[in-house]
Amino acid sequence: MSKDAKISLLGLTLTELQNIVAEAGLPRFTATQLASWLYEKRVCSFDDMTNISKKGRATLAQMCETGRTAPVKSQRSADGTVKYLFSVGDGRFVESVYIPEKDRATLCISSQAGCQMGCEFCATGRQGFKGNLTAGQILNQVLSIEKADELTNIVYMGMGEPLNNLTEVLKSIEILTAPYGYAWSPKRITLSTVGIMPALKTFIESCSCNLAVSLHIPYPDVRAAYMPAEKAYPIEDVLKLIRQYDWSGQRRVSFEYTMFKGVNDSPTDAARLAKMVHGIQCHVNLIPFHKIPESKLEPAAPATMQNFMKELEKYKIPTTIRRSRGQDIDAACGMLSQLTVNS
């Protein structure tokens, strides 16, 4: 940060805000007021922070900025899904997806610009890694959409591998769940990962949010061909770690399984998957594959997915076929890419 750069307050914890007000020579309780204005009342300007003195507001405005930025643009799907494009500086962009349903409204947020994982079936992975987001840039996605007040759930399933940005992701989750922040229940938040260790262990032990593991292919050698992370973090090791924890309470673990024609969609594949997750109290989400440029993979037929679900249910594995949302605006699973900034 340059000497003249202002401090961005969005994404700071209460302790960090206390340090800021101390540096500004303001009373310690000003930090609690700031947190309330930023996270509970969600204001964008120091002028709106009316219970802080005019002098205090002027001092803060000289040192800091709130950190709120509006989306660069948005696109609305025929099914009501809305995709937002946010600038995160240095010519980098990320996308977030608002998914309205009858009894809930979910926001899928990004934790990185691009992704290091390089999964064959993911548009984000194909564009490469552009950098980590700060906690403020993560939370700005939540605050700066017009339907922010209607959100019931947040999923870290957008661009990037959240556990490769563990410090900032955990900070954003602290603010989402802390009394001084949004005061959300952790069960309203889900983090998706390919299974980065030891960050996965840290995540499980440091917060109570739901976990979704991107399993996709139940054979390690084949999985490695489509998901390079398998070579560094074998899925069998990931499952071994998950078995060490109790998933019978408020927190849930699920396995994401994108289905590809002729690759992982047979009854034998279903039996293999059931064997892998046997004994874990979990849920399996079957996800339709959405075609992306330069990939030879094809989606499994809807009837094949139905049969696959029936096979899993024979093994008493709770299973859902996830409904595709926002495909017409490239907002469905695996389709997010900052390249749409120019489209």
End-to-end CA, the chain: 32
Give the separation between CA 164 and CA 225, rounded to whole angstroms: 21
In contact, 193 and 160? CB cutoff 8 Å: no
In contact, 298 and 290? CB cutoff 8 Å: no
From residue 75, give the alpha-carbon distance in Å to each of 122, 157, 213, 328.
20, 19, 28, 10
Which is the catalytic residue, given 95, 230, 256, 311?
Answer: 95
CA atoms within 13 A of residue 46's CA, in its CB half-sphere: 19
Which is the catalytic residue, given 115, 207, 282, 333?
Answer: 333
Residue 205 is among the residues annotated as catalytic for this protein: no
Give the separation between CA 256 and CA 230, rounded to whole angstroms: 15
Both tokens of 173, joined, read 């989750």
Both tokens of 53, joined, read 């003195």
Residue 95 is among the residues annotated as catalytic for this protein: yes
Catalytic residues: 95, 333
